[in-house]
Amino acid sequence: MNAILLMLLGLGGMFLGYVFYSKFVAEKIYKLDPNFRTPAHEFEDGVDFVPTNKYVLWGHHFTSVAGAAPIIGPAIAVIWGWVPAFLWVIFGTIFFAGVHDAGAIWASNRNRARSIGALTGDVVGKRSQSLFMIVIFLVLLMVNAVFATAISGLLINFPSSVVPVWGAIFVALIIGQFIFRKWLNLGTVSILGVIALYALIVAGPEAPLALPETIMGLSDNATWILILFLYAAIASLLPVWMLLQPRDYINGLQLFIGLILIYGAVLISGPELVAPAFNSDTPEGTPSLIPLLFVTIACGAISGFHGLVASGTTSKQLDKETDARFVGYFGAIGEGSLSLATIIAVTAGFATLADWQAVYHSFGQGGVTAFVSGGARILQEGLGFNVGIAETLLTVMAVLFAGTTMDTGLRLQRYIFQEWGSIYNIQWMEKAAPATLLAVGSCLLLAFGAGGADGSGGLAIWPLFGTTNQLLAGLTLLVITTMLVKLKRPMYVTLLPLIFLLIMTIFALIIQLKGFYEASDWFLFSLDLLVLIAAIWIALEAGSTLNRLRKENANSSH
């Protein structure tokens, strides 16, 4: 099949989902009201609560939720063939992610823009709220460990990207100073910044850099992971305007440029998909498609992380309640389109089926490296890019995404430690530096604990990360469903995805648990067990809450 057809089918399907399904959900289920006074107006303070133009808000929402995860997930999951990954991304975006994201904004908007975590306490119960905090901590922990492993892999596989990746950080630092001190206006600075970044990317292949294979007994992979965490720890302690803000801005611009380039190149060259539609010949050790597909692709189909962004910041800036449809649902479509681009890159970006099979020789292979090499081939054929430059460009895009998520993740983990410090009255833990050390330490433990001293095992926890992320989404869906039941509105729109998610995650956790047990991997076994307990807990909580409400509703109607 031709990639253009797949691209049109996917984008067309998601667009129809926006036009019809999201309209139905927004009008009939959430009943978004243009006259509702949103928290952005009610509590307007010029700082947290600011009514914001819906296109600007969409830009933020989309760029904060899009990261490396919607690339890594599909790039691993095509091992079962492109049809399952494609269908889950498209239908997941239409019926799961869009409803979940828009619903999280709506739920928060109707509750004084409070975060989903706080809402869980009010709407569902106190027990669920503590559970929520634990699940968030686990998600952050895993995301940091996985992304550090993924970045170090990229830096080793594509040494041409080392200079532009670290150079981009200096570009961001300089841009930050220019804007903060108002030396130049933003438009000029953005153009100069983008030129500087792409100049570094073009120069990258001229100056490849690689670490020596071992430094003080540590492999190059392990050294990169340590350097990355050192960087992330420093970045998470700097004032946000210095590095985080300008870098997010550049990343956002890069994301749009990258998507346009990839889709443009596909349209021009029209590559054929070389990977099988359904892979009947999966390598030994590949787990069964059901349920693992649904946790391998989390972001891009549905992701709990979106609920945190939607309820934490987006809902505070919503100008009109009806904007929730565009911002939330279309934001999910933006993420889905990034996953679709990834699927095309990793299935059409190889010359022959044998090449593809050589990359996907066992489960967990491929990943972001396959995205970079496949995408680079498509860019070369479609737009005539030099392969080295195209590879550097895509690597920089992926690394910057993952890097941003890492230091934001560390910052959030630090806040959680600080909060625990104040709850349990541990004074030293309330300070920023020791709390950051604890956060970094726990991530390193996971990155190295999962895969031995070379730190290569971080990606082994990818499906486990997926399950935890889906659990978070499940909690958000539970909050929305509970609200819908209380309002006596139809609840199947969120209840069916919730049930599906819980069944698939619990099923996947049990299968993985068995795998870790057989491999005698006690570290991951206990982690899996922890997540499994949380998952069953959420399922019970959901059952009892909904049952209670059903009874209450039945009594009140008599």
Partner 1 sequence: MRIQAIKGWLAQASQFANEYYNAPYRAAVARAKREQEDLFMLYVYSEMMGIPNPASYYTLELQPLLLEQFHEWHLRMGMEHSPFDEFRCC
Using CB under 8 A, list all residues that contact partner 1.
46-48, 50, 52-53, 55-57, 59-60, 64, 179, 185-187, 190, 239-241, 244-245, 248-249, 252, 313, 317
- By beta-carbon proximity to partner 1, the closer residue of 418 and 482 is 418
- Nearer of residues 404 and 442 to partner 1, judged by Cβ: 404
- Output the six-digit token pair for 409: 């993740």
- Choice between 388 and 403, CB closer to partner 1: 403
Nearest distance from residue 245's CB to partner 1, in Å? 5
At closest approach, how far in Å is the CB of 262 from partner 1?
22
Nearer to partner 1, 182 or 558 (CB): 182
- Angle at which helix 3-16 crosses helix 82-91, to 10 degrees, equals 20
User: Considering the complex, what minimum distance in angstroms separates the CB of residue 407 from partner 1?
Assistant: 13
**Residue closest to 282 by CA, chosen among 369, 361, 374, 367:** 361
Residue 55, number of CB atoms within 10 A of its CB: 11
Q: Evaluate whether 352 touches 274 at the Cβ level (below 8 Å).
A: yes
Q: Shortest approach of partner 1 to residue 212 CB, angstroms?
A: 39
Shortest reach from residue 112's CB to partner 1, in Å: 16
Q: Looking at beta carbons only, is 377 or 411 nearer to partner 1?
A: 411
Minimum Å gap between C-beta 118 and partner 1 is 16
Our CB check for partner 1 shows the closer of 313 and 357 to be 313
CA distance 481 to 493: 8
Residue type present at position 542: A
Q: 8 or 186: whose CB is closer to partner 1?
A: 186
B/e letters for 252-286, b = 16+ CB within 10 Å, e = fewer, are bbbbeebbebbbebbeebebebbbbeebeebeeeb
Cβ closest to partner 1, residue 313 vs residue 365: 313
In whole angstroms, the minimum distance from the beta carbon of 248 to partner 1 comes to 7
CB of 183 to partner 1, least distance (A): 15
Q: Which of 384, 379, 313 is nearest to 345 (CA)?
A: 379
- Residues 40-49 as b or e (16 or more Cβ within 10 Å = b): beeeeeeeeb
CA atoms in the 13 A half-sphere facing the CB of 217 = 1
End-to-end CA distance of the chain: 59
What is the DSSP secondary structure assignment for residue 161, as one 8-state letter?
A: G
Between strands 214-215 and 218-219, the pairing is antiparallel
Q: Which amino acid is at 306?
A: H
Taking the complex as a whole, the smallest distance from the CB of residue 19 to partner 1 amounts, in Å, to: 25
- Report yes or no: 141 and 413 within 8 Å, Cβ to Cβ: yes
Looking at the DSSP assignment, which residues form a beta bridge with residue 272? Answer: 2
Query: Residue 145: phi, psi to the nearest 5?
Result: -65, -45
Q: Which is nearer to partner 1, 14 or 318 (CB)?
A: 318
Rounded to whole angstroms, how far apart are CA atoms 464 and 483?
A: 29
